[in-house]
């Protein structure tokens, strides 16, 4: 992992980490730990699969510009972008790029540390109780109840780059990244 600004008291990844090229952030998030504070304590899982989405990508919610749904993507980096799909599932993304330029990384799967099965974006949101109420929370501070910490490092030989799954537009973009051989990645 590249050395970026970290909150030295909490180990939380700082905003500069996210304020970069979306594809780089998507790769560098692999091995980081997603943490969620709940009434039952802190739930944790290691990020093992991501997908990148940028403003010029037809599959990105911001492709057509600012809308009520996509406005979060244009805000500062390091925010949660949570949306509802198919009338029953939530998906969790991290905003990237400088403010005004839309970009996000979908967190597709976690290796559980103290949570249940998370091999897919909807399953991880259910396991960690991530809902639309967390849209736009700041992931760079613990008080938000949802944050990301540095945890493990995977070198390039351990990372698989492939096409995204579960989308129709721009499905041929090689913007999905996952940890080689990890049993918790989502199934195409």
Range of 164's domain?
6-178
Assigned domain for 53 exists: yes
- Work out how many domains the chain is built from and give that number: 1
pLDDT digit string, tens, across residues 117-158:
788 899 999 999 999 999 999 999 999 999 999 998 898 999
pLDDT per position as a tens digit, 52-107: 999 999 999 999 999 988 999 999 999 999 998 877 899 999 999 999 999 999 99
What integer pLDDT is reported at residue 107 of this predicted model?
98
Query: At 146, phi and psi to the nearest 5?
Result: -145, 125
The pLDDT value given to residue 9: 40
Give this prediction's pTM: 0.91
Does residue 187 sit within a domain? Answer: no
Pairing of strands 159-162, 80-85: unpaired
3-state SS track over 5-33: CEECCCCEECHHHHCCCHHHHHHHCCCCE
- Per-residue pLDDT at 6: 39
- DSSP letter at 130 equals -
Cβ 51 vs Cβ 133: under 8 Å: no
């Amino acid at each position: 992992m590249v050395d970026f600004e970290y909150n030295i008291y909490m180990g939380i990844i700082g905003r500069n980490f996210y304020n970069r090229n979306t594809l780089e952030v998507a790769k560098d998030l692999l091995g980081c730990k997603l943490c969620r504070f709940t009434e039952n304590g802190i739930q944790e899982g290691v990020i093992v699969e991501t997908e990148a989405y940028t403003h010029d990508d037809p599959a990105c919610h911001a492709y057509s510009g600012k809308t009520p749904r996509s406005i979060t993507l244009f805000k500062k980096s390091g925010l949660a972008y949570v949306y509802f799909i198919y009338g029953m599932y939530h998906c969790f993304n991290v905003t990237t790029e400088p403010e005004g330029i839309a970009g996000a990384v979908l967190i597709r799967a976690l290796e559980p540390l103290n949570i249940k099965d998370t091999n897919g974006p909807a399953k991880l949101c259910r396991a960690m109780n991530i809902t639309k109420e967390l849209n736009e929370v700041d992931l760079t501070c613990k008080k938000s109840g949802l944050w990301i910490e540095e945890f493990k490092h995977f070198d390039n030989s351990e990372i698989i780059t492939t096409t995204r799954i579960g989308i129709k537009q721009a499905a041929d973009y090689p913007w999905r990244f996952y940890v080689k051989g990890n049993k918790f990645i989502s199934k195409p």
